[in-house]
Structure 1
Amino acid sequence: MSKFAKRSEEKELMDDLNCSGEELNQTLRELKTINRWLGGNYVTTSGLEKIFKRYPQESYAVADIGCGGGDMIRVMHDWAKRQKKEVNFTGIDANRNIIDLAAVRLADLPKVAWRAQNVFDTGFSSEKVDISTCTLFTHHFTDGELVNLLQSLREKSRLGIVINDLHRHPLAYYSIKWLTGVFSKSKMVQNDAALSVLRSFSRSDWERIAKAAQLDHVEVSWHWAFRWRVIIIFK
């Protein structure tokens, strides 16, 4: 059977919630560069734009789930500022070391709160927001875990969810494997980048998972570079 036929459940090095130190710093720096090169950040902001247009408000509360080093929060903040939208962000990640790094890296942004919190902790969904975003985060979970996560985000989010994650495709896999093999100095990036593709999704995966989570009004669309944008609207 082809390695691309179904989602891999092999764990990434970054799944160790205690990872820290210079290896983590180097990994976050490289991931920021890779994502900028490949240009997939707009997939998240375009999803926000659709929800903003559908539900105009004076201000929005957005939680970035699995925020990592905070790169996507900066992207969303700068985009919202250009759009003249008032948005308060919360960055949530289960790794306290990553949250501490993100808070330092984005110390110049006044309207960002940080939470070291596991999405499966009791009480995660009790702090409500308008929109939850997940960028390159959902592939870290099995299908069953994802169903639980989506149901929890449904409780947490008043307006909707925007997901931006990878397309499990041979070209995406071999391209990122070559790119990180040549340019990366991080063992974590060299191991995790290609594995992330194998853990990611086909369109039918997303349709099956959304159905299992009993979610309606789900829009799945493909975008460069090998990204799926999943928008789930609740109102």
Structure 2
Amino acid sequence: MLRKRAVDARELMDDPRCDPELLDRTYEQFRLVNSVVSGWHSTYRARIRPLLQPDVPATLLDIGCGGGDVARALAAWAARDGLPLQVTAIDPDPRALDFAARTPNPDGVLFRQLESSELVDAAARFDFVISNHVLHHLDAQQLADLMIDSELLCRGLAIHSDIRRSAWAYAGFSVGTLPFFHRSFIRVDGLTSIRRSYTTAELRVAARRGWTVEALPPFRNLLMYAASNAASAALGEPDADA
């Protein structure tokens, strides 16, 4: 079942007719789930924080932000560290933006209902471009388009973090969530997400030239692009301009 991506499987929350109460509860629970499985705090410390400066404001774009928990977390971590970071979070789904608008936002994340291509058309630029658990939603062309948009939008570092498909990931999530999340889409959609996600080898094949893929424990892939020499150094790579 997990030897190939289940590209035809669909997550319940992507259905525009899904139960709005269950959808809201799913967005609420993403904060807990992402804090456990997405690894963004360690990614912030290792990849983003070293490129921030206390006297130079930086900007970050979160593509496909959902309910906005990752965007708010990144803004809060930077604020706690005394590092100016303006976070813009975009999603084309009005239901996600409606939830985000109703959620406390003390660090001033800017939420906008947009596609990344619209920001490309507006010639917008950001120091960081990220996404969380977006890649497995995309077909091959959409993945390529996301990487192209990221290259055009990013003047520093792009990081797209996603689940890494494996039987262990599927079994662990299935067992670990069984007692919980009965009144949301978290468990059933999470299992679908794992089935749709890429292995590290698959993502490396799909990656455009200049992008790198790193497998991180327990079951994550980071798809990364360095648009500057400083970002290349942070990734331990040759200079981006070399």
Tell whether the structures are fold-level matches, with TM greater than 0.5: yes
CA contact (8 A) 1:163 1:230 kept: yes
Please say if 1:232 is aligned against 2:194.
no
* Residues 39 and 188 of structure 1: CA distance in aligned 2, closer, same or farther (over 3 Å): closer
- Tell me, which stretches of 5 or more residues in structure 2 are unaligned? 229-242
State the Cα distance separating 1:233 from its structure 2 match.
Answer: 0.4
Q: Which residue of 1 aligns with 2:47?
A: 47
CA RMSD of aligned residues (A): 2.4
User: What pairs up with 1:181-200 in 2 under 5 angstroms?
Assistant: 181-200=178-197
Q: Where does residue 79 of structure 2 map in the other structure?
A: 81
Q: 1:223 aligns with which of 213, 216, 229?
A: 216
Report the CA distance between 1:80 and its aligned residue. Answer: 0.9
Corresponding residue number in structure 1 for 2:238: none
Moved more, 180-189 or 190-199: 180-189
Q: Aligned equivalents of 1:68 and 1:79: distance in 2?
A: 19
Task: Give the letter aligned to residue 138 of structure 2.
Answer: F
Contact 2:25 2:184 in 1 (8 A): no
> Structure 1 residues 96, 229: CA separation in 2 closer, same or farther (over 3 Å shift)?
same
Distance 2:197 2:14 in 1: 15
Deviations 1:79-131 (A, max 9, x none): 21233211001010111121121122133223x21111134558566322221
Amino acid at match of 1:136: H
Query: In structure 1, what is the Cα distance between the partners aligned to 2:227 and 2:163?
Result: 24
Specify whether residues 104 and 176 from structure 1 end up closer, same or farther in structure 2 by C-alpha distance, changes over 3 A only.
same
Matches within 5 A, 1:51-62: 52=51, 58-62=56-60
**1:63 Cα deviation from its structure 2 partner:** 0.6
Task: State the one-letter code of the partner of 2:185.
Answer: M
Tell me if the contact between 1:47 and 1:229 (Cα under 8 Å) persists in the aligned partners: no
Count residues in correspondence: 226
Query: Measured at CA, do residues 57 and 65 of structure 1 come closer, stay the same or move farther in structure 2, by a change above 3 Å?
Result: farther
Is 2:137 the counterpart of 1:137? no
2:200 equivalent among 203, 213, 226? 203
Residue 17 of structure 1: how far off its partner (Å): 5.1
Contact kept? 2:30, 2:69, Cα under 8 Å: no
Relative to 1, partners in 2 of residues 1:59 and 1:20: Cα closer, same or farther, differing over 3 Å?
Answer: farther
One-letter amino acid of the counterpart of residue 49, structure 1 = R
Maintained 8 Å contact 1:94/1:119: no
Given that 1:65 and 1:132 are in contact with CA atoms closer than 8 Å, whether structure 2 keeps it comes out as: yes
Q: In structure 2, what is the Cα distance between the partners aligned to 1:6 and 1:199? A: 8
Question: Contact 1:128–1:156 (CA<8 Å) still a contact in 2?
Answer: yes
Match for residue 178 of structure 1?
175
- C-alpha distance in 1, partners of 2:69/2:47? 17
Look up the SS of the partner of 1:105 in the other structure: coil
Given candidates 73, 78, 91, the residue that maps to 2:89 is 91
Structure with the larger RCO, 1 or 2 (CA within 8 Å, 6+ apart): 1
Alignment partner of 1:49: what SS?
helix
Q: Is residue 2:164 matched to residue 1:167?
A: yes
Residues 44, 205 of structure 1: alpha-carbon distance in 2 compared, 3 angstrom cutoff? same
Provide TM-score, normalisation by structure 1: 0.85
1:181-222: per-residue Cα shift (whole Å, max 9, x none)? 321123522321011111112121221121xx3x31x33222
Task: Summarize the Cα distance change of 1:25–1:151 in structure 2 as closer, same or farther, 3 Å threshold.
Answer: same
Q: Secondary structure in 2 aligned to 1:182?
A: coil
Match of 2:123 in 1: 126
Alpha-carbon distance between aligned partners in 1 of 2:13 and 2:23, rounded to the nearest angstrom: 8
Q: What is the TM-score with the length of structure 2 in the denominator?
A: 0.83
- Kept after mapping to 2: 8 A contact 1:118/1:124: no
Amino acid at match of 1:6: K
CA deviation string 1:13-45 (max 9, x = no partner):
222356562111111122222222336222541
